[in-house]
Amino acid sequence: MWNTPFVYLSAVLIVLAAYYRWSRRKMLACVANMNGPPALPLIGHGYILLKYTSAEVIFENMDKLSSTYPSPLCIHFGPLVHVVVYTPEELQIVFNSPHCLDKSIQYHFLHVSKGIFASPTHIWKGQRKLLNVSFGPANLNSFVSIFNEKSALFTELMQKHVGKGERNFNHEIALCMLDTIYSTAFGVNFDMQRTPDGEYYLGLQEEFLDLITKRIFSITMYPEFIYRMTKAYKRETKILQEARLLSTKVMDARKADSITASSRDTQSDSGLNGKKPQIFLDKLLELAKENDQFLKEDIPEHLDTIIFAGNDTTATTMSNILLMLAIHPDIQERVYQEVMEACPEENQFVSIEDVAKLSYTEMVCKEAMRLYPVGAAIGRVATSDIKLDDRNTIPANAVIVCGIYQVHMDPKQWGPNTDKFNPDRFLPENVARRHPYAFLPFSGGPRNCLGIRYAWLSMKIMIVHLLRKYRLTTSLTMDDVVIKFTVLLKVANGCQIALEKR
């Protein structure tokens, strides 16, 4: 005899499945011919996520999926249709389409939806125009002294580790970048490399990103009303409250004009004809008074956005670059020789002009970012149908996943042995032969990274200071490097290196 509750439940599921297919018939017709593994009713490909037990496994299985099926790949996570694209031609179409500027639902989990990183298109457009000046090339000149000061301090603090064997320097690198962000973007000197605030904030940030990663890959946690009933939500809320206390401290310090000594020094010789540097936080406070798009109560989200998008991404990239230099001593020596030609004195100030001479160093940085792009996958939402080619159209309301890691490892663009570290891939003649959207470490199109120039300048200056004093070594080889996904793509081994005095 049939179990009556089971019959009712089955009937409800059948009705829901039928309604789902009928209500989304246009979207499903659009993606019917796209590549992808078999899907189940209602949950779609949600069963795939059951295999994801760690950050390393997440990356490994998603990479296998994209290696098995050509782009575009269609994945159904419950009612959410995801179209994954990873050819340079498709990425160029998506990144430059005015209908693909909105960020996907996963970005809302970061709780920075009012900041420039994840805000809706209609808000982002105004924000980008108004905030460009804070990270423009002219204003960056005023930050060079701070980049030098914080990198010199980092190099000095590394002295205690010389000759003491390998260790993971991720934490120290992140503290240096955090210290730099607070001094340049916020105009306050909290000395994050030597005070408890830096350690405290990094701990909060790491725990928060772990929670968000777990939510992204747990489709049942997407509905907010369900997520709010979990322990993860309670802990996440506590972390955000504690992080916002630091944002409040920044704003209070800025109001009291507790600006860094470096900022004062650079105002007179910054190359801005005596004009005061456009501190990001000052600009936000100014805009909150003058522009309806900027509310004072939203400023902490803007600060969190810059810390997440500017600190963790740059620190992770810097860690990867230093690890690659340690694994490849011949390449490290070439970088060192270039550094010594540009600014040879051990404590010499690194100028904009010096940085411009570091062409091979830039090639090395780019190759590290090709192998390990921190933004390995970028999510957008199609607000209208997007035609990729004569066969494939991304339907309106679909989530688009832009596979940056996949295009960075495409043999058609990069030749054989794409997993090998080879800075010569970025020789001018090789760059000219590649598709312009084959290398996207800072995203692409109009909604690319706001802080591209800031990141380049700060990282190169840090490399100069470090290599002038230390030789980097490691027992790791390229075969030992393991990648994991925690919102950002990271090397699971960390920056496992040893320091030798030159």
In the chain, how many domains are there?
1
Tokens describing residue 177: 């970048």
Which has the minimum average pLDDT: 210-219, 413-422, 477-486? Answer: 210-219
Burial class (CB in 10 A: 0-12, 13-18, 19+), 259: buried
Question: Is 410 among the domain residues?
Answer: yes
Are 96 and 446 contacting, i.e. CB atoms less than 8 angstroms apart? Answer: yes
Question: Is 11 among the domain residues?
Answer: no
**Integer CA distances (angstroms), 128 to 74, 92, 118, 306, 425, in order:** 31, 20, 12, 13, 32
What residues contact residue 491 under an 8 Å CB cut-off, 6+ apart?
319, 320, 323, 372, 481, 482, 483, 484
Helix H segments across 49-118?
55-68, 88-96
Question: Is 234 among the domain residues?
Answer: yes
What average pLDDT does the segment 382-404 reach? 93
Question: Is 463 among the domain residues?
Answer: yes
Tell me which long-range contacts 98-102 makes (C-beta under 8 A, separation of at least 24).
99/382, 99/383, 99/384, 99/385, 99/386, 99/396, 100/380, 100/381, 100/382, 100/383, 100/386, 100/400, 101/380, 101/383, 101/446, 101/447, 102/380, 102/381, 102/383
What average pLDDT does the segment 73-78 reach? 84
Q: For residues 55 and 64, what is the distance between their CA atoms, to the nearest angstrom? A: 15
Q: What is the CATH number of the domain that holds 283?
A: 1.10.630.10
Question: Is 437 among the domain residues?
Answer: yes
Which has the minimum average pLDDT: 240-244, 256-260, 274-278? Answer: 256-260
What average pLDDT does the segment 187-206 reach? 89
**Whole-number pLDDT of residue 61:** 76
Question: Is 12 among the domain residues?
Answer: no
pTM for the model stands at 0.90
Q: What is the span of the domain harbouring residue 179?
A: 33-501
Which has the minimum average pLDDT: 117-126, 325-334, 364-373? Answer: 117-126
Question: Is 230 among the domain residues?
Answer: yes
Question: Is 358 among the domain residues?
Answer: yes
Nearest to 52 by CA among 219, 204, 207: 219
Binned at pLDDT 50, 70 and 90, residue 55 comes out as low
Q: Using one digit for the tens of pLDDT, what is the confidence trace for 416-470?
A: 899 999 999 999 999 999 999 999 999 999 999 888 889 999 999 999 999 999 9
Q: For residues 303 and 317, what is the distance between their CA atoms, to the nearest angstrom? A: 21
**Whole-number pLDDT of residue 52:** 58
